[in-house]
Amino acid sequence: MRIASFDPAIDFFFIAGPCLVEGEEMMRRTAGELAELAARYAVPLVLKGSYRKANRTSVHSVSSIGDERALEILAATGAEFGLPTITDIHVPEDAARASAYVDVLQIPAFLFRQTELLQAAAMTGRAVNIKKGQFAAPDDMRHAVEKVRAAGNESVMVCERGTTFGYHDLVVDMRGLIVMRDCSAPVVYDATHSLQMPSAGATSGGRPEYILPLARAAVAVGVNGVFFETHPDPARALSDAATQLPLERAGQFMRSCLETDRLRRELEGDGNLR
């Protein structure tokens, strides 16, 4: 299953998993729970895990357990539980390496303008998820999408993850979700990174209490998918401990998003929210 096969007009999907691939046991536990929830709710889900974090706040933060090991764990876990997989890449050389293991390549927000990175991702033939830069306007995303398509790849998504709001804070402008539809690409809302407090000390902080309310708001506006990071024990996570959703709450979160999406579709079908 590939994101490229989804019909944005009718499908709704999740991208979910831990921020960083920390080890086989944690990935299997997370993937197993997410696969069970995806089957229960009959919704497509892409398993997320970064094999390397290249933008850590502190030099002392963990960036990887080892690139090859992490990619192998992610690929094996996805295959075991029947889930497609997604990971971040940071330089053009990463594209070919990661695409041998995953179904979707993700472009981090700080790098969404990097032409060679976008082209390299596109030329792998894998689907590409482009995070919107925290410093960028929603309509800027059309240029990133064009770079992927010009390289011969139509399987591209755009993802909202908040906009810089003063120092150490982000805000989500829900109007941007509508503006990004003009890219003629599926629009994804990142429910956890949007609530980060970047570089608030040696690590990024966050406001996880707003994860569900803002996700509901984004789904009510109308998105094709919701991205969220989840971990069995967020407080002990090696990355983004402040914003990852506890795995035990993933089911409630997904159910609420799906119910909101169903209601939005019903109201739009009745002509009440045009």
pLDDT along the chain (274 residues), means of 10: 42 94 96 98 96 66 79 96 96 96 96 98 96 96 97 95 90 96 95 82 71 96 96 89 93 98 88 47
> Does residue 107 belong to any structural domain of this protein?
yes
Q: Side-chain half-sphere of 43: how many Cα atoms within 13 Å?
A: 25
Identify the pLDDT of residue 64: 67
> Does residue 90 belong to any structural domain of this protein?
yes
CATH of the domain at 28: 3.20.20.70
Strands 45-48 and 13-17 turn out to be: parallel
Count how many domains the chain has.
1
Cα angle: 44, vertex 264, 270; to 5 degrees: 125
Query: What does each C-alpha distance from 120 to 70, 77, 99, 123 come to in angstroms?
Result: 21, 25, 10, 5
**Helix runs in the chain, H state only:** 24-41, 67-81, 92-99, 115-123, 141-150, 175-179, 211-221, 250-269
> Does residue 26 belong to any structural domain of this protein?
yes
User: Which domain does 134 fall in, by range?
Assistant: 11-269
- CA proximity to 135, closest of 98, 108, 96: 108
> Does residue 3 belong to any structural domain of this protein?
no
> Does residue 6 belong to any structural domain of this protein?
no
Identify the pLDDT of residue 206: 67
> Does residue 48 belong to any structural domain of this protein?
yes
Separation CA 177–CA 187 (nearest Å): 7
Identify the pLDDT of residue 13: 96
Separation CA 189–CA 172 (nearest Å): 10
